Homo-oligomer: A and B are copies of this chain.
Amino acid sequence: VALLAQVSVSTASRALSGGHYVAPPVRERVRAAATHVGYQPNEAARGLRTTRTMTIAVLTVGLRTLPFLDFLDGFGAHAEAAEYTVLLANARNSEQQYRFLVGRLFERRVDGLLLVNPGELHEAARPFQETARPVLAAFGRGPSNASIPLVTTAELDAVRQGMHRLKSLGHTSIAYFDQAVALQSSRPGYVARAAAECGIACRVAMTDPDADGGVIRHNLVNALAAPTPVTAVAVTHGLVPQFIDAVRSLGLKIPGDLSVFTFSDSALIDPLIEPRLAAVHNDLVEMGGRTAKILIDWICDGVEPANVTDLGLSSWREMPSLGWSRLSGG
């Protein structure tokens, strides 16, 4: 490019970047030459010089949850608007793979890292923290990761709302079904807490991430056969298909036999479920965008976010599955 425009590489570089301290005619000449040759800067080389790769990574433990795709959309949209490329690394439920990926990401010198639900995988982020590179956690984190700033849409209030509704409907014993994604989540904790606050007994049933329908069904049968049988169930999004399947195969009616609510509804599967499921709804697209902003601001301005940022994007969504139809005679 420099050759063609008959200037030095330094001048060319200046013309192509800011364009300051370059005579306008020269600048135009360089730019014309650049487009003519189809010049594309080499980001890697630039990164080497500036020590900034303009890349941020999202490290996830699994990619199969629909709501997370919403999050990714929001995150990606904001990141790209800020000229950042996002590298999506998926550990596919393997701790080993997770550690391996952190290494790769570090090698690539990504400018920032987002850990999605890192649970107790704390050694993982250490290389980043040691080099003072921004690392953020989203959704949840284990106690040992308490030093990693967390972005969350605290669901507790919405969960409380749901519990109050259950209480007012007369429920006193419920169950919460979740997946133990090789990582610890804090949700079972506050679900149980919110239930307790309302004087509702809550049994938590955790299953393997790859548990089949049989396991869920088994858990459901157990919950219904307990000394104080469960009359309502809260179920995490990823387990909804197996759960609904179990409910049907047992011949149970929602909400006739069981009130049900879920977390993070998804337009992709919700229309398939009759009746519609009440939910702790999260605006995940928005959360994604806000999370990207926090991370990028940290990278650019060096302002470390608060230890926990509550985006307040959760809300309670009432639906017939809770018992509404029964009470209102609808």
Binding site for B on A (CB under 8 A): 38, 40-45, 47-48, 53, 55, 63-64, 66, 69, 72-73, 76-77, 80, 85-90, 92, 97, 100-101, 103-104, 106-109, 127, 130, 213, 240-242, 244-245, 248, 267-274
Contact = CB atoms under 8 A, between A and B. Distances in A.
Contacts of A242: 271
A73 B40 CA distance: 31
Contacts of A270: 241
Main secondary structure of the interface of A (DSSP, over half): helix
A269 B271 contact: no
A106 B270 CA distance: 39
Instruction: Count copies of this chain in the complex.
Output: 2
Contact of A85 (B69, B76, B87): B87
A248 B274 contact: yes
Given A48-B42, A48-B45, A242-B271, A63 B73 contact: yes
B268 A241 contact: yes
Contact of A271 (B76, B106, B107, B244): B244
Contacts of A101: 80
Contact of A268 (B66, B103, B107): B66
Contacts of A80: 97, 100-101
A271 B42 CA distance: 48
A64 B268 contact: yes
Given A48-B48, A213-B271, 11 more contacts: A38-B130, A41-B107, A43-B108, A64-B268, A66-B268, A73-B90, A77-B92, A80-B97, A86-B88, A88-B88, A268-B269
Nearest to A270: B241
A43 B64 CA distance: 29
A69 B73 contact: no
A73 B44 contact: no
Contacts of A88: 86-88
Nearest to A248: B274
8 contacts: A44-B47, A55-B108, A66-B268, A80-B97, A80-B100, A85-B87, A241-B268, A241-B270
A110 to B, nearest CB: 10
Contacts of A213: 271
A241 B40 CA distance: 43
Nearest to A88: B88
B104 A85 contact: yes
Contacts of A63: 69, 72-73
A275 to B, nearest CB: 12
Contact of A109 (B43, B130, B245): B43
A321 to B, nearest CB: 14
A91 to B, nearest CB: 10
A40 B76 contact: no
A242 B73 CA distance: 21
Contacts of A104: 85
Nearest to A240: B272
Contacts of A73: 63, 90, 92
